[in-house]
């Protein structure tokens, strides 16, 4: 039998929430995932006028932490992104903060995430403005991830950056470098800006700190973190951004773990697969290993990644910033660099000729009458398929 996150939550989430105070958004996510595709959320049935039932299904919870509701959200997200994407090469750049700062992240998700977004953007655009590298303002889509393969807290931001930008005269300037920006200067700039911002938040009393902590402890933590590894990875350019966008959509809209990785569920333990990027096989690919956790630890790790309500996990900057004076400039550049039909088809994975509003009339396979969709309220049982 397939293992579901909902099954694990049904076993362990009530006890975990009874022992640990959790924000309302976390409690709501737990309930939504447990009730997803059950009678608790109601459902729909395809029936004809002769009462033949062709198909039934329970409603999804649509919570963005739910792995079962990922497919539709990923498709809708990609369709939105493709409306603004420029038809040029892109770079994939990843900014990661050291784990020593997790003690602050756990108590200040939204504040620390805002700092991560802001400092990654500032470092990118400040270095891009340097004539030695680009001398122009690119477009960038930044996406926040907070988990690693083992569900441990691992805050980092993925950046999809155009391999070029618009200069002060409004003219498109293509990047001449294979990696666009040098990793070491970018890392130093990002590290300095991030730690400066964290110290400023502590000084202004904007951080929720562990018991007994004050500004001195935060300053000491920043001093320690400054000498740790700050991983800023600059990938070579991609001719088109299909792969990176699909990757971001899958991980942003599918929760911290795909249910395909879940292997077994026992009374007090769950096992799942993960990729060990520090241990490669003969082909240079990360080895796939199995991790066994107690159900309570699995729930604890999963819930650390539930984002605050209405928090934007994906943001556009520069030529990808929506609205304002940038919109007219972006439309002009997009007319010069349109995305190809092949790229559009790859991003949306739709058949040729598809339109999102298109509807096709269905007929009953038993009698040929037109099919209609009937809604069933919460708690109501669904009819059986004919």
| pLDDT, position 356 | 43
Domain 67-256+305-348, second-level architecture: 3-Layer(aba) Sandwich (3.40)
Give Dmax over CA atoms of the chain in angstroms. 77
Which pLDDT tens digit goes with each residue over 258-272? 899 999 999 899 999
φ and ψ at 168, to 5 degrees?
-65, -25
314 or 124, which is more confident? 124
Mean pLDDT of 355-379: 78
Check pLDDT > 90 for residue 122: yes
Alpha-carbon span 311 to 306, nearest angstrom: 10
Scanning 58-108, the segments in alpha helix (DSSP H) are 70-82, 102-105
Q: pLDDT-based confidence at 361, cuts 50/70/90?
A: low
Computed over every residue of the chain, the mean pLDDT equals 88
| pLDDT, position 240 | 75
Check pLDDT > 70 for residue 73: yes
Mean pLDDT of 130-137: 93
Check pLDDT > 80 for residue 347: no
Q: pLDDT-based confidence at 212, cuts 50/70/90?
A: very high
Mean pLDDT of 317-322: 88
DSSP assignment string, 156-199: EEEEEEESEEE-TTS-EEE--SSSSS-HHHHHHHHHHHHHHHHH
**Percent of the chain, pLDDT > 70?**
92
122 or 281, which is more confident? 122
In 10 A of CB 280, how many CB atoms?
11
38 or 244, which is more confident? 38
**pTM score, whole prediction:** 0.88
| pLDDT, position 206 | 96
Give the CB-side neighbour count of residue 300, counting CA atoms within 13 A: 14
Check pLDDT > 60 for residue 113: yes
170 contacts 92 by C-beta, under 8 angstroms: no
Helix (H) or strand (E) holding 211: none
């Amino acid at each position: 039998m397939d293992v579901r996150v909902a099954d694990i939550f049904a076993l362990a989430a009530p006890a975990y929430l009874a022992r640990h105070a959790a924000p309302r958004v976390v409690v709501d996510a737990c309930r939504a995932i447990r009730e997803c595709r059950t009678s608790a959320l109601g459902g729909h049935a395809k029936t004809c006028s002769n009462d033949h039932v062709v198909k039934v299904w329970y409603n999804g919870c649509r919570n963005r932490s739910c792995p079962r509701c990922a497919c539709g959200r990923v498709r809708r997200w990609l369709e939105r992104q493709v409306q603004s994407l420029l038809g040029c090469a892109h770079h994939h750049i990843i900014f990661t903060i050291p784990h020593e700062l997790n003690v602050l992240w756990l108590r200040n998700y939204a504040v620390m995430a805002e700092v991560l977004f802001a400092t990654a953007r500032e470092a990118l655009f400040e270095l891009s403005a340097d004539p030695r590298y680009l001398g122009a303002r690119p477009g960038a889509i930044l996406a926040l991830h907070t988990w690693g393969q083992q569900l441990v807290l691992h805050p980092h931001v993925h950046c999809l950056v155009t391999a070029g930008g618009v200069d002060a005269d409004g003219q498109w300037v293509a990047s001449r470098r294979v990696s666009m920006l040098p990793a070491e200067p970018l890392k130093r700039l990002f590290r300095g800006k991030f730690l400066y911002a964290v110290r400023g938040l502590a000084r202004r009393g904007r951080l929720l700190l562990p018991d007994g902590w004050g500004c001195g402890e935060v300053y000491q933590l920043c001093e320690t973190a400054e000498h740790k590894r700050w991983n800023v990875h600059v990938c070579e350019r991609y001719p088109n951004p299909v792969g990176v966008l699909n990757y971001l959509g899958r991980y942003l809209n599918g929760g911290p773990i795909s249910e395909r990785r879940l292997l077994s569920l026992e009374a007090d333990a769950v096992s799942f697969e993960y990729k060990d990027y520090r241990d490669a096989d003969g082909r240079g690919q990360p080895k796939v290993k199995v991790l066994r956790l107690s159900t309570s630890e699995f729930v604890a790790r999963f819930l650390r990644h539930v984002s605050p309500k209405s928090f934007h996990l994906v943001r556009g900057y520069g030529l990808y910033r929506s609205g304002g004076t940038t919109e007219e400039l972006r439309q002009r550049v997009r007319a010069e660099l349109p995305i190809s039909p092949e790229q559009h088809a790859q991003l949306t994975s739709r058949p040729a000729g598809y339109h999102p509003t298109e509807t096709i009339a269905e007929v009953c396979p038993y009698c040929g009458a037109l099919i209609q969709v009937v809604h069933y309220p919460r708690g109501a049982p669904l009819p059986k398929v004919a």
